Amino acid sequence: MQVESTNPRSGKARKAVVAVVLVALLAWGLWYYIGSLSYEETDNAFFDGGVVQISPRIPGQVLRVHVADNQHVDKGDLIAEIDPRDFEASAAQARAAMDATGARETGAHSGLRLTSSVTQAVLVQAGAGLEAARDQVRVLQARLRQDEAAVQAAQAGWQQAKAREDAAEAESKRAEADAVRYRALYEKDEVSFQTVDRAETDARSSKAHLDAARQAVAAAQAQHDQAQAGRTASAAALDIAEKQVRQAEGRFQEAQTAPQQVQVRQADLHSASAQKEQTAAALQLAELNLSYTKIYAPESGYITKKSVEPGNFVQPGQVLMALVSDRLWVVANFKETQLRHMRPGQPVAIRVDAYPQLDLRGRVDSIQSGSGARFSLLPPENATGNYVKVVQRVPVKIVLDAPPPEQYRIGPGMSVVPEVKVK
């Protein structure tokens, strides 16, 4: 009786439990389905990152290598060294050439300043000398004209004195003849003594006038000779002054070539400056080559595929090792049908296959313009042959909000499953 009374109640309880479980499962499934509409995920996703090929920029023998495979380095850490002795010698030679050209430029600059100042002074002095010589010529020309006038005046005075002498001589001869004639007539008692005395007095007076005229002619001749001597002296002085003018003109013309000398000095200065710039560029290149003997990490990351050892001779561009950057991101190849609501900036939950316990967060950075197949080595030609529609995958770049913890070694190519919240 007791068994029969309890079985119906147990069956009802079981049915109630099953019903509750079914309702809960249905509610959970409905909730999961509705929630899944807000997320897009794919297992076709991998970590990616920057891989830098470390190569030398100069040829030389490797002196030291400071890193090993899989070693972590920080940006700016010294990785390797190339023997610097050849480059130190080149830098020293370039530095010496730089000093020499600098001294040459300084000398050219000083020469230009000196030539400019001296040239200006010489030009001014030559101009002043030429003007002074020309002034002297003008003065002497005026004096010569005065002397010419004096000679002409003295000539005219001499001629006048000579005419007076001739007149006085004629008058003296006439008076002398009259005195002789009257004396003869007096001896014959044909004229009075008074007449004879008057004639002799006239003769003596005419003789005195003749002597005075002759003295005036002599004085006029002396004055004429003096004027001619002054004219000769002025002409000689003028000739000397004209020669000095020609000499001053020559010096002035020579001084006028001074600007050309300044231009020559300027050309020397420009040449020295150009040589200095050239040696400065050579010095900069030598110092750059010397700095290239030390190879530094371009960014933080892990050393991989190291293929160089001390003593190796390396060439520019030769790959010595690779550096995998600490900067990681995820490239997720979503189906094109999953991109309907996907936008840059949406949050992403990332599960790493190698570390299921690791929970990473990120966000959508960008979506590639074009499918991955379109940028493959042999892209499909859909216009040829029979066409079969295939859902394409489009790469989506996802950046991490924070770098992975250091205890987890994560690198490019490792698989992940990103889940993007699209709604």
Q: Which of 3-12, 183-192, 257-266, 314-323 has the lowest mean pLDDT?
A: 3-12
Q: What is the dihedral of CA 212, 217, 219, 223, to 10 degrees?
A: 160
153-160: list long-range contacts, CB under 8 Å, 24+ apart. Answer: 153/227, 154/220, 154/223, 154/224, 154/226, 154/227, 154/228, 155/224, 157/220, 157/223, 157/224, 158/217, 158/220, 158/221, 158/223, 158/224, 160/220
Position 278 pLDDT exceeds 50 = yes
Q: According to the model, what pLDDT value does residue 1 have?
A: 37
CATH (residue range 40-83+299-421):
2.40.30.170
Q: Which of 29-38, 50-59, 167-176 has the lowest mean pLDDT?
A: 29-38
pLDDT tens-digit profile of 85-143?
999 999 999 999 988 888 888 887 777 676 666 666 666 777 788 788 888 888 888 88
Mean pLDDT of 217-242: 84
Position 9 pLDDT exceeds 70 = no
**Sheet containing 313-314, strands listed edge to edge, beginning at the edge strand earlier in sequence:** 294-296, 78-82, 60-65, 313-314
Q: According to the model, what pLDDT value does residue 390 have?
A: 87
Q: According to the model, what pLDDT value does residue 243 have?
A: 86
Position 207 pLDDT exceeds 50 = yes
Q: According to the model, what pLDDT value does residue 3 have?
A: 43
Mean pLDDT in the chain? 85
Structure-token pair, residue 278: 């050239």
pLDDT tens-digit profile of 365-409?
999 999 988 888 888 888 777 888 889 999 999 999 998 998 898
Position 50 pLDDT exceeds 80 = yes
Position 191 pLDDT exceeds 80 = no
Q: According to the model, what pLDDT value does residue 2 have?
A: 42
Domain ranges in the chain with CATH number 1.10.287.620: 91-269
Q: According to the model, what pLDDT value does residue 227 have?
A: 80
Position 39 pLDDT exceeds 80 = yes
Residue at 349: amino acid letter: A
Eight-state DSSP code of residue 158: H
Q: According to the model, what pLDDT value does residue 259 have?
A: 66
Give the integer Cα–Cα distance in Å for 34 and 25. 14
Give the integer Cα–Cα distance in Å for 168 and 214. 9
Position 149 pLDDT exceeds 50 = yes
Q: According to the model, what pLDDT value does residue 178 have?
A: 79
SS3 content of the chain, % helix, strand, coil (to 5): 55, 20, 25
Q: According to the model, what pLDDT value does residue 63 have?
A: 94
CB 22 within 8 A of CB 43: no
Domain ranges in the chain with CATH number 2.40.30.170: 40-83+299-421
Question: Residue 60: left (phi > 0), alpha (psi -120 to 50), or beta?
Answer: left
Give the integer Cα–Cα distance in Å for 322 and 307. 9
Mean pLDDT of 414-421: 95
Mean pLDDT of 244-252: 77
CB 46 within 8 A of CB 414: yes
pLDDT band at 8, cuts 50/70/90?
A: low
Q: According to the model, what pLDDT value does residue 255 have?
A: 66
DSSP reduced 3-state for 167: helix
pLDDT tens-digit profile of 287-297?
999 999 999 99
Pick the CATH number of 91-269 from 1.20.1340.10, 1.10.3110.10, 1.10.287.620, 3.40.718.10: 1.10.287.620
